[in-house]
Amino acid sequence: MPYRYKSCGRFTSLLCVVAAIILSFSPFAFSQIAVNRPYQPVIVKGNSFAEFSNNTAPMGQLFLYKYISASNAWEPIPYQFDEVEPDSLNPASTTYFRRGDGNLDDQDELAFMARDAGDKALTNTWVNDAASRSFARYEIEVTDPLLTTGNTGYVYLFRSSTLSISPTAKDYVAYVAAPAGASAGQDTVRGQTYEEGHAANGIQDLLRVPAAANGSNLDFLDRLKVRFKVFAILAEVTFTEAGLGLQGVRARDGRVRVIRELRERISLITGNIDFSILLFYYGYSSVLGTSLNLNTLPSGVRVTSLRQSFDFDSRVNGAKWYNQNLSTPVTVTGSSGNLNSTQAAVVYDPNLNWYMLSSAHGSFVNLFSLPPNFGNSQRFYFQDAQNGTNDGTDDTGDNKSYGDGGLLITGTDIKGVFNLFLISYVLGKDQPRAAAEALHNQTIKPLTVKTQAQRNTVAVQQPTLGAPQRFALLQNSPNPLSLSTPVTAIRYELPHTPQTPVALRIFNVLGQNVRELVNAVQPAGRYEVQWDGRLENGERAPAGIYFYQLRADDQTATQKLMILP
């Protein structure tokens, strides 16, 4: 009974809320950034780019830039497109691992980092590339709802057959396949603040924070622990992560994220439980999603306990462990016990639980949501002991528990589909409680993203014989417009260089501004602007009478044009 992900349910919504933190170890490095969530990725689905996503735009011709207004410069930013395809094994689900068509479709995803957003560009300020001017571009507006000022940044998606990505462009995360001769599970992921390594079955057993990210560069994780207690054939048996059998691992590596899938098996005498784990690795965080269907177990099998936790090694002696219930931390000593019921209480979806290990080697923040009414009891698990676990399962790894914390569900016959979404951030050493709280607050108030198609209408200065003698707005040509002649040219003349930006706008008969063609500082001269008969939102303007108005300093001129049905 292999589990398959639903295409766009809770999992996707949680992906979209992966949060970031106010940078605490380098507060001045990002004074220039437009959206102050330096650790947060932004995911935008293809259907947000309607003009590109109708299976017509090759992803290799789409390029993401930011605009820097202080220097009037465009700068390429790291991004990636991931194709999302129907899963051939389960048509109701989708997968990132099937070869796509190379074109942007509604389900495909664009990923970039919020920290790379820049300034707003005027509609006529365009990347220096002629080919891109024959297509729309998309303005992507990213807003932090936790802030009221300084909270919005912009990136721009251009289509062009002549732009290209620099081979040295920044890459936030790298996937390193297992070495030759090793299990495929022994792969490695390197982000900006972490290296994560894995045991033969693909389960995490190494975490280190490089010195450049304010860590010790030493592995401080014993291992990710996964525990099941199962009552089968009149006896209770326990399974640990060491007993998970890797059935397969797949990964995709881009500039913004690595997508990695593990297929695992729990082997019971009465049959197998198969499930998969889908992981997204970003520069500073990862998102783990897994789903265990307990409704279709082999007959006679009851699950009585489920646990997922991170156990650290003796290096973290003296580290602080916090969760949302602890205003003062537990100090990790390897012998200080566990949490009382108040300290171990969890909250339920849509609220998020969090816990953090803050150590001299690095800090590790985890956030997870829980569905209510799963099992008889759900609580935080925490164990700090020299001789193993306190949920009755065998210990593994170094056989000691140092700050081993996570989630424990118990019951007599746990049923249902258990969905776990775990967002993990890796930060520099000795982070304060407020760092984890900030991540929690940002996760529950995700960035909002708006997209808008824009067209280039840069006024082209015409070759002239001497400067124009008069301020003039000429009749457009051709006029009227129709479906067969959807583009018209508007010419105007500026006898003097205006003190303020020149504006050329189209109005409907109600006086509503439906399209801005020019809003730019322009020297004296003769100009021609193309209008493609489209509104600001990219839709075709309906048939009817329109007015276009030129404004420069205190002078205005207006003309009329018509669009035939």
- The secondary element (H helix, E strand) that includes residue 366 is strand 362-369
Give start and end residues of each alpha helix (H) in 445-563.
none
Q: Are 185 and 199 in contact (CB under 8 A)?
A: yes
Query: Taking the alpha carbons of 391, 397, 398, 403 in that order, is the dihedral positive or negative?
Result: negative
Question: Quick one: DSSP state of residue 59?
Answer: G
176: β partners: 188
The answer to whether 82 contacts Ca ion (rule: CB under 5 A) is: no
Identify which range of 102-110, 112-120, 442-450, 538-546 contacts Ca ion by CB under 5 A.
Answer: 102-110
Nearer to Ca ion, 83 or 144 (CB): 83
Identify which range of 63-71, 87-95, 199-207, 320-328 contacts Ca ion by CB under 5 A.
Answer: 199-207
Nearer to Ca ion, 264 or 395 (CB): 395
Q: How far is the CB of 243 from Ca ion (least distance, A)?
A: 16
Q: Are 268 and 232 in contact (CB under 8 A)?
A: yes
The answer to whether 83 contacts Ca ion (rule: CB under 5 A) is: yes
106: exposed, middle or buried (Cβ count in 10 Å: 0-12, 13-18, 19+): middle
- Distance from CA of residue 148 to its chain's centroid? 22
How do beta strands 188-190 and 109-113 pair?
unpaired
Identify which range of 73-81, 206-214, 299-307, 406-414 contacts Ca ion by CB under 5 A.
Answer: 206-214
Q: How far is the CB of 359 from Ca ion (least distance, A)?
A: 14
Question: 305-324 mask for Ca ion (x: CB under 5 A)?
Answer: ------x-------------
Nearer to Ca ion, 174 or 489 (CB): 174
Number of residues that bind Ca ion (CB under 5 A): 17
Which residue minimizes CB distance to Ca ion?
222
Nearer to Ca ion, 361 or 400 (CB): 400
17: exposed, middle or buried (Cβ count in 10 Å: 0-12, 13-18, 19+): buried
Binder of Ca ion out of 109, 144, 187, 205 (CB under 5 A):
205
The answer to whether 264 contacts Ca ion (rule: CB under 5 A) is: no
The answer to whether 398 contacts Ca ion (rule: CB under 5 A) is: yes
How do beta strands 152-159 and 62-68 pair?
antiparallel
Identify which range of 174-182, 375-383, 484-492, 543-551 contacts Ca ion by CB under 5 A.
Answer: 174-182
In angstroms, the CA 196 to CA 258 distance is 12
Binder of Ca ion out of 171, 274, 437, 528 (CB under 5 A):
171
Question: Quick one: DSSP state of residue 443?
Answer: H
Q: How far is the CB of 158 from Ca ion (least distance, A)?
A: 19
Give start and end residues of each alpha helix (H) in 312-352.
none
Q: Which of 250, 291, 249, 251 is nearest to 273 (CA)?
A: 291
The answer to whether 253 contacts Ca ion (rule: CB under 5 A) is: yes
Q: How far is the CB of 464 from Ca ion (least distance, A)?
A: 47
Which positions lie near Ca ion, rule CB under 5 A?
A: 83, 100-101, 105, 108, 171, 174, 205-206, 219, 221-222, 253, 311, 397-398, 400
